[in-house]
Amino acid sequence: MGAVKIITMQEDELRDLIRQETSNAIRQALAGQQDELLTVKQLCERIPGLSRYLFKKLEEKAKLKNTRGKYSLQSVKGAMQSH
């Protein structure tokens, strides 16, 4: 087992580091699934026939998960097919 080290840093630096690492982990997990996190505007551009109005209705019906204002492309497509 390696030596234990104590590191000191500012709280906001730690918060930014945690945000950055969690964002990277989410991106890597989605990349492995051939998925992307997209904004509503990007989803409407990528999925034919999807408008903001239809997306809002679909979001309520399918209870889509929001990650910092972005949604999984695969989950939106899946929700459209099932609803």
* Domain ranges, ordered by start, for the chain: 11-82
Separation of alpha carbons 59 and 27, rounded Å: 21
Q: Computed from CA positions of residues 54, 59, 65, 66, in that sequence, does the dihedral angle turn out positive or negative?
A: positive
Using CB atoms within 10 A of its CB, is residue 13 exposed (0-12), middle (13-18) or buried (19+)?
Answer: exposed
Q: Global pTM?
A: 0.60
What tokens does 77 get?
């497509």
Where does the pLDDT of residue 25 fall: very low under 50, low under 70, confident under 90, or very high at 90 and above?
Answer: confident
Does residue 36 carry a pLDDT above 90? no
- Give the integer Cα–Cα distance in Å for 42 and 14: 31
pLDDT score of 40 more than 80: yes
The listed range with the strongest mean pLDDT (22-26, 31-35, 39-43) is: 39-43
Checking if the pLDDT of 42 tops 80, the result is: yes
